[in-house]
Structure 1
């Protein structure tokens, strides 16, 4: 799996709490994007995740569950991403929830299918930031989190998450300079090809999510400019 994500450039992220038509879903899955991630913050249910997973599985594309709630873990995905929110004030979002999941599901877990993401959430107005009780880091803090992700935790993914707001390309560039083995994901506010192209100069993988539901045609075009 590590080799696989090293080949990725672009992924779409679908929120199971939001509606997407069959036509739009087909266009996303056939767009040339490298994977579909299913995950969200609010109103995430097992049934909604399962239904969306079944719809995506009709297409020949990797389908990943980003686990945000233990109650919503569903079998049948190709891979599972486990977030560690590094800039959370609460230990439970870095370690305790993960510990509980391993304690409960350890015998069922296939670690060839599971990757842990070091998250750094940088939009104080976002639901994810508030839910995980984050602290807003400065530039040196963010760079240090990236260093920790690679050199202390040995994580395969470091995820800069601006969650609906377009971030700072210069910061993304500086973070990328700190990473050699850990793959840099960027997500947040990418609405058009110009933003996709700008962020892809520095991030290994760009994640396009919210604009699927607000600017679908522009979201779709982000694939071709980075692939």
Structure 2
């Protein structure tokens, strides 16, 4: 694992600026012991809802990073920034096109020491991100390994992100990815809605990202922190 600002993260919550979260729930999430809050979403992200969520999170002492998915949602003031590159799509705009557009407009203001590229491999065809980017989600294990090696060894990206957003993924695929990671930090996200699933994914990935369950079952979301940070996978 490399020595970048996010390298110590084992658990992160991902909050969507386009979704509503109350003050009490947000406080519970930020005070849960998670390593970080990632702000980002696949649709409906604006400057206004992003800066509003950031300001609310900033009341707490927890790392707060922005996943830059739209130029409209590019907001200064975060601890760090992620720039996703979707590797398993044939649409080049999601690999380099939008990123180049962003650099042409804001390149002079990018905090490079706090900015990291994420090599996304999206594997749930029903996910909003998969439909938006037209990702080729039905990858075989050898195809997945090739994508991991492309990101990790050839492109030297700091993060490889296996994304099953909306569904709990095939842990055999995550295991295959983990076996072939050499230098990159392996993120996993998708369908983690219990301590047990959090523990399973955390055995294989450097960092797990918990998102949707925050809005449907707060207690279950909080249990994932304990499962990862303290090994409590069998909670009542």
C-alpha distance in 1, partners of 2:183/2:214?
30
C-alpha distance in 2, partners of 1:158/1:170?
16
Relative to the length of structure 1, the TM-score reads: 0.98
- The residue that corresponds to 1:191 in the other structure is 193
C-alpha distance in 2, partners of 1:177/1:34?
24
Alignment map for 1:18-167 (pairs within 5 Å): 18-136=19-137, 137-167=139-169
C-alpha distance in 2, partners of 1:45/1:12?
20
| CA displacement at 1:83 relative to structure 2 | 0.2
C-alpha distance in 1, partners of 2:16/2:197?
21
Relative to the length of structure 2, the TM-score reads: 0.94
C-alpha distance in 1, partners of 2:4/2:126?
34
| CA displacement at 1:4 relative to structure 2 | 3.4
| CA displacement at 1:2 relative to structure 2 | 3.7
C-alpha distance in 2, partners of 1:189/1:205?
14
1:209 aligns with 2:198: no
C-alpha distance in 2, partners of 1:4/1:194?
28
C-alpha distance in 1, partners of 2:93/2:206?
28
C-alpha distance in 2, partners of 1:16/1:109?
21
| CA displacement at 1:148 relative to structure 2 | 0.7
Q: Describe the SS at the equivalent of 1:70.
A: coil
Alignment gaps of 5+ in structure 1: none
1:171-223 CA distance string (max 9 Å, x none): 11110111121000000000000000111110100000000011110011100
| CA displacement at 1:135 relative to structure 2 | 1.1
| CA displacement at 1:75 relative to structure 2 | 0.8
RMSD: 1.0
Contact 1:16 1:40 in 2 (8 A): yes
C-alpha distance in 2, partners of 1:130/1:194?
29
1:12 aligns with 2:20: no
| CA displacement at 1:3 relative to structure 2 | 3.5
Contact 2:5 2:114 in 1 (8 A): no
1:60-106 CA distance string (max 9 Å, x none): 11111101101111111111100000001200100111111111111
1:218 aligns with 2:220: yes
| CA displacement at 1:34 relative to structure 2 | 0.4
